[in-house]
Amino acid sequence: MSIHPTAVVESGAELGAEVRVGPFAYIQAGANVGAGCVIGPHAVIYRGTTLGPRVRIHAHVALGDWPQDLSFKDEESFVRIGADCVLREGVTIHRGTKLGTTTVLGDGCFLMANSHVGHNCQLGPRVILANGVLLAGYVQVGAGAFLSGNVLVHQFTRVGRLAMLQGGSAVSKDVPPFCMTHGLSGNFVGGLNVIGLRRAGLTPEQRLQVKRAFLLLYRSGLNVTQAVARIRQEVPEGPAWELCVFIEESQRGICAYGSGVGGEADAG
């Protein structure tokens, strides 16, 4: 273990083996830092925050601070960061806003500079947030999703697995799995995240099934309920059915198809 002499690690903070703590970092009593973590200069880790093994925290990161919620009264709540996450400079992640609740990052997430994860957000494994992404409270992001620079996500909105939000997107409707949004537009998907599907290991047959489901949902003229029924009838059970489950669980409605800025886009 290596702790810089200017760092402050309060009695009651738990640090695993081979943790390195940089200059002027602060780790509060009640924080738990997993083995092999690296804590950069001026980083702050508050009580109730748990880091899995081998997490890398860069300069000026703040984890587990009070949620930005006027109703919060310092209830006991938590932040949990999975193994092998990387949090670049200026990242902020807030603790849950209700008693006993937790803000969660899955394993292998990569959060770039100045991105923010609000209270009670739930990020699956391998989620990437590019610079300046802002997630409001209670946002859910599925495994392997990629949110590009300066994306804004409204509270309680869900982003599905392997979705990709282009830079400058602002969404307040759920983004279905595998879909891409347009930059500089709100609540529209423009096609499928084809490259992301390949990288995730979906077979050519599975990708064709997802494309068929997408076309039924967005290009067939059916309403959403009718499209979900047709997908279940015509497309084999598998990744394409994630669209059906995602839509059936949606509380906010899903993004529409088109650019939102005067034109439609390729379905992928």
Mean pLDDT of 232-244: 94
User: What's the token pair of residue 210?
Assistant: 């997802």
Give the separation between CA 219 and CA 238, rounded to whole angstroms. Answer: 21
What pLDDT score does 59 carry?
98
What domains sit in the chain, N to C, each tagged with a CATH number?
Answer: 2-197 (2.160.10.10), 201-257 (1.20.1180.10)
Lowest mean pLDDT among 137-141, 159-163, 252-256: 252-256
Helices (H), 67-203: 194-199
Q: Is the predicted pLDDT of residue 260 greater than 90, yes or no?
A: no
What pLDDT score does 264 carry?
41
pTM of the model as a whole:
0.90
What pLDDT score does 185 carry?
72
Mean pLDDT of 89-115: 98
Q: Is the predicted pLDDT of residue 263 greater than 60, yes or no?
A: no
Q: Give burial (CB, 10 Å; 0-12/13-18/19+) of 230.
A: middle
If you average pLDDT over every residue of the chain, what do you get? Answer: 94
End-to-end alpha-carbon separation of the chain, Å?
50
Residue 262 banded pLDDT, cuts 50, 70, 90: very low
Q: Is the predicted pLDDT of residue 181 greater than 60, yes or no?
A: yes
User: What's the token pair of residue 1?
Assistant: 């273990």
What pLDDT score does 190 carry?
87
Choice between 203 and 266, residue whose per-residue pLDDT is larger:
203
What pLDDT score does 259 carry?
59
Choice between 84 and 182, residue whose per-residue pLDDT is larger:
84
Paired strand residues for 94? 65
Taking Cα atoms as reference points, which of 109, 182, 173 lies closest to residue 142? 109
Q: Is the predicted pLDDT of residue 257 greater than 50, yes or no?
A: yes
Helices (H), the chain: 194-199, 204-218, 224-234, 241-249
Percent of the chain with pLDDT strictly greater than 70: 96
What pLDDT score does 108 carry?
98
Residue 157 banded pLDDT, cuts 50, 70, 90: very high
User: What's the token pair of residue 252?
Assistant: 């906010």
